[in-house]
Amino acid sequence: NAGVTQTPKFQVLKTGQSMTLQCAQDMNHEYMSWYRQDPGMGLRLIHYSVGAGITDQGEVPNGYNVSRSTTEDFPLRLLSAAPSQTSVYFCASSTRTGRAGGYTFGSGTRLTVV
């Protein structure tokens, strides 16, 4: 049981490049989400999904795209990377209501845009 797996762990991009951050969970959780963590600002919700085929915007969605074709996978796409997107990105999953035990977080992807 791997939990929530994020790849890659580290990535350096040039401004304007695009890339996809991968997130997979093996707990059959309905809910998945992406956060970015910046110093002094806690975590901010980018996009979330309550099930396959359903996604919604969070607090800071601009510049990011998501899709949820399967229950297990929830990739985050950076369309045209900007230095302001330098951050640590976390994927999280839970049961639909999060009641069982909170959210399970992946180990994070540290992204630097130069």
Partner 1 sequence: ELKVEQNPLFLSMQEGKNYTIYCNYSTTSDRLYWYRQDPGKSLESLFVLLSNGAVKQEGRLMASLDTKARLSTLHITAAVHDLSATYFCAVDLYNNNDMRFGAGTRLTVKP
The residues binding partner 1 (CB under 8 A) are 31, 33, 35, 40-45, 48, 50, 56, 58-59, 90, 92, 94, 96-108
Amino acid in the structure at residue 73: D
Q: What is the nearest approach in angstroms of partner 1 to the Cβ of residue 80?
A: 26
Q: What is the nearest approach in angstroms of partner 1 to the Cβ of residue 74?
A: 13
Q: What is the nearest approach in angstroms of partner 1 to the Cβ of residue 108?
A: 6
**Contacting residues for 93 by C-beta, under 8 A, at least 6 apart:** 4, 25, 27, 29, 31, 32, 33, 74, 103, 104
- Nearer residue to partner 1 within complex by CB, 61 or 63: 61
- Nearer residue to partner 1 within complex by CB, 64 or 103: 103
> What does the alpha-carbon distance between residue 98 and residue 104 come to, in Å, rounded to a whole number?
9
Distance from CA of residue 17 to its chain's centroid?
Answer: 18
- Nearer residue to partner 1 within complex by CB, 42 or 62: 42
Instruction: Dig out the tokens for 76 from the structure.
Output: 């985050």
Instruction: Dig out the tokens for 60 from the structure.
Output: 């800071």
Q: What is the nearest approach in angstroms of partner 1 to the Cβ of residue 10?
A: 12
